[in-house]
Amino acid sequence: MRLGLVSTTIGGEINIFDSEQRRFVTGGVTIDASEVTAVNNEKLLKAGTVLGKQDNGLYVPVTDMVKASKVTGAVADNNAILWTAVNPGDAGEDIKVALVNPSANSQDLAVSVIGDAVSVSLKTGDGGAIESTANEVIAAVNAHLTAKTLVVAAKSSTSSGAGVVAAVAPAALAGGADWNVTPACVLAEDVDVTDGVDAAASAVDMARLIGARLPATIQPEVLAVLHGITVV
């Protein structure tokens, strides 16, 4: 009986598959060399790279979706709040946040949501001055059953969160981004297109992949649209 780890290689490279039950893309894929980013003057795609198909029929690496975000307040005043969309993609830019001065005495802190708009009515004292701190706003938003499905509130940068916030007019989150192409398959072998020539390669659209042997973590939202791909 043999004890210990055994590495299986395919074409001289470490196997990324956990099972022999895998399905390759019929006819393989052709990598668009012009759309591969060079690193240290090399355009090398590792096995396990997620690919998507362009309108021209050529495949390129899928870029991660980006979550939209917005900062209100100021770090110097310790009332800066970082608002980040829960879901990645440019749809997060439809979310708006507002800090509202109720313009009344002795009001409680309250969070409300209408559509994609999160509004925080701030706490005021006997004289009508705003008393809510950034930390209090953060806690209230993250505890609200609906608001927490849209955004995550957090202290921004080195802000302590102890500072009293100021009213903020409805402001949209920004910087969200979708994938450059829809994830379609996973590259099954290393491909070098440094010479700028489009290259044919094999790719899988159904397989169990060993996560530790992939070049990067495959995000859950990517796995959700890849047909039959699981990572173990």
Please determine, for residue 11, whether its predicted confidence score (pLDDT) is greater than 90.
Answer: no
Banded pLDDT at 9 (limits 50, 70, 90): very low
Q: What is the bridge-based pairing of β-strands 96-100 and 50-53?
A: unpaired
Percentage of the chain modeled with pLDDT above 70: 94
pLDDT one-digit tens code per residue, 186-213: 999 999 999 999 999 999 999 999 999 9
Amino acid of residue 85? A
Amino acid 3: pLDDT: 52
pLDDT one-digit tens code per residue, 21-66: 889 999 999 999 999 999 999 999 999 999 999 999 999 999 989 9
Q: Which residues contact 90 (CB under 8 A, 6 or more apart)?
A: 68, 176, 177, 178
d(C-alpha 26, C-alpha 24), whole Å? 6
CATH 3.40.30 fits 9-64+179-231, yes or no: no
pLDDT one-digit tens code per residue, 137-186: 999 999 999 999 999 999 999 999 999 999 999 999 999 999 999 999 99
Amino acid 14: pLDDT: 74
Complete DSSP assignment for 90-142: GGGGG-EEEEE---SSSPPPEEEEETTEEEEEPPB-TTS-B--BHHHHHHHHH
SS3 content of the chain, % helix, strand, coil (to 5): 15, 35, 50
